[in-house]
A and B are shown apart, each in its own frame.
Chain A
């Protein structure tokens, strides 16, 4: 094939797995790092939910939970899940692995910068984790890190943890900026001959748009993070009112990024779900262009809604009204996309394999998350709901589908391509049901406790007489039991994943009979991906095309001159132009 393959044989293990510039290896590095960080953040939630259900009792495998430890666990759970699980798994792992394969080229355009981006990311993850072990422990000022709590060690009691958290986050931003440039440039410029813009698979579009959205929104927060870092370490007064600064400024800078950020993680998940829906309904994706235009519109609108996180921070109520309106508006395109996905299913021939179960669950669970966001987007209602568990339940009904349902969907779907083996479908279904039942058991009660007034970020209601509502304790316990069930079933996934890695049934190149180009490459693909780089002749969703023998029509297969009636004009001539 090329000099590459020969060189691979001679590479040491270190060079092959730690120093590789191959996008597939880098993608898997991100995946495994993200999975490891999920275990850490999952342990954190186990501990603090046990504390909430049985306050003051020793938590097995941890001990008694102090107020400071509780705050650190809550902060790091949120931070790790958003920055070191959702983003690396959905964007960096699958973006890296899939993009060159799906657009029919042999690697990213800047392989060395790609490797650098992972290395920076890894360092950021290590800093975040080691912050648990420094004097004072990990930062406990919430993932939103508002000053003056985050600037003053007198308040936060975690001077080292606070600064390490901030540095870890900034490095993670740098890693994703670098990675994003690779994704965007590669997709724009390195597509296979014949692959026009609207022949690119939706998941690639979504990852690219997410990268652009990230790039466009993170700048002010990078500036703000530098300012916060200086406040913490040099004692400047950027956010100190006594020195002329403004703590609300931080809130604005954080949320100006923070809101587009949720779409940064949502978009790849929706892309993953779209791919799976088309393949397992054997049906053309409904409204491909509509999805893209809607996504772009959503991305733009997402820059106009951020202050709905600050409704009770003292912002001008007239501005609050404006942001209420924009927030309610943004629910429309997302709802429309859900309808488009349902329309894709309608009339399809549905196969209920594990990836499809996850994709369907995404739609149902995210719907709950989206609908409950409407309550919070209305400023008047938010005055009550803000900082209650209603918010927690809402954003877990969005974030969990995004990160975990989307993540499991992607892993179970692309596992054969990544590792050359099939995962066990029965175990996959057991894992699926245990997770979904457990997940809903955690968060449905929290809507109720939140609506009843339960405050967030309180380590023990018993410590605050005004907040102590023993009547709700059974709901809190139910939520914790749901969590224990959900965590227990993750062992099924881990067993399935690692066993299949080594002993799973060997996978064919295209076990799901899908159209997109990654299924042309061997499972797993070698360096260089394709023996012969493909040419593209049609869009990615030609499933169930009439008068064809197969119910799928891969993108790289040339048109048959006479056997198919009424087909689209051949692109062979175009491709070679």
Chain B
């Protein structure tokens, strides 16, 4: 009943290789902060997240051999979220304006040690 004959194109080893790549990327993203440079951390953390998501989408979900319009639907949803962010963030992230300001001050961390 399945019409996805094109999806069985790869043998198992192919997917294990992708998995190994993902693990290496994971390791890099964990090590990234240890370099101590903020921009490096951001790239290794989020840049790698995007790459990993792309690999999973392409190779595990087989989106690249799926009908094109499926990708467009998913991209459109992401685009709507960008619109949401673009419209809301400038408002919510503003901390002062004419005649007003956000007074909230982040408290110092006080956590009780219950165990030990």
Contact = CB atoms under 8 A, between A and B. Distances in A.
A303 B80 contact: yes
Contacts of A242: 104
A244 B76 contact: no
B80 A216 contact: yes
B77 interface: yes
A312 to B, nearest CB: 14
How many interface residues does chain A have, given as a range? 20 to 34
A345 B103 CA distance: 60
A252 B92 contact: yes
- Which one of A241, A243, A252 has the highest number of Cβ atoms from chain B below 10 Å of its Cβ? A252
B102 interface: yes
- Which one of B88, B100, B102 has the highest number of Cβ atoms from chain A below 10 Å of its Cβ? B88
Contacts, number: 44
Interface in B68-92: 76-77, 80-81, 83-84, 87-88, 90-92
A71 interface: no
Interface string A213-229: 00011011000000000
B7 interface: no
Contacts of B76: 216
Nearest to B89: A252
B104 A319 contact: no
A249 B87 contact: no
Contact of B83 (A219, A243, A303, A316): A303
B92 A248 contact: yes
B84 A304 contact: no
A304 B92 contact: no
Given A316-B94, A316-B97, A307 B87 contact: yes
B112 interface: no
B92 to A, nearest CB: 5
B-side interface mostly:
helix
A306 B83 CA distance: 11
A559 interface: no
Contact of A217 (B80, B87, B88, B91): B80
Nearest to B86: A304
B106 interface: yes
- Which one of B83, B87, B103, B106 has the highest number of Cβ atoms from chain A below 10 Å of its Cβ? B87
Contacts of A249: 88, 92
B80 A319 contact: no
A256 B87 CA distance: 9
Interface string B103-116: 11010000000000
Contacts of A494: none
A316 B90 contact: yes
Contact of A316 (B81, B84, B91, B106): B91
A314 B91 CA distance: 9
B80 A244 contact: no
Contacts of B91: 248, 252, 315-316, 319
Interface in B26-64: none
Contacts of A219: 81
A242 B90 CA distance: 20
A509 interface: no
B86 to A, nearest CB: 10
Nearest to B77: A216
Nearest to B94: A316
Contacts of B77: 216
Interface of B: 76-77, 80-81, 83-84, 87-88, 90-92, 94, 97, 100, 102-104, 106
23 contacts: A216-B80, A220-B84, A241-B102, A241-B104, A242-B104, A248-B91, A248-B92, A249-B88, A249-B92, A252-B88, A252-B91, A256-B84, A256-B87, A256-B88, A303-B80, A303-B83, A304-B87, A314-B97, A314-B100, A316-B94, A316-B97, A319-B90, A319-B91
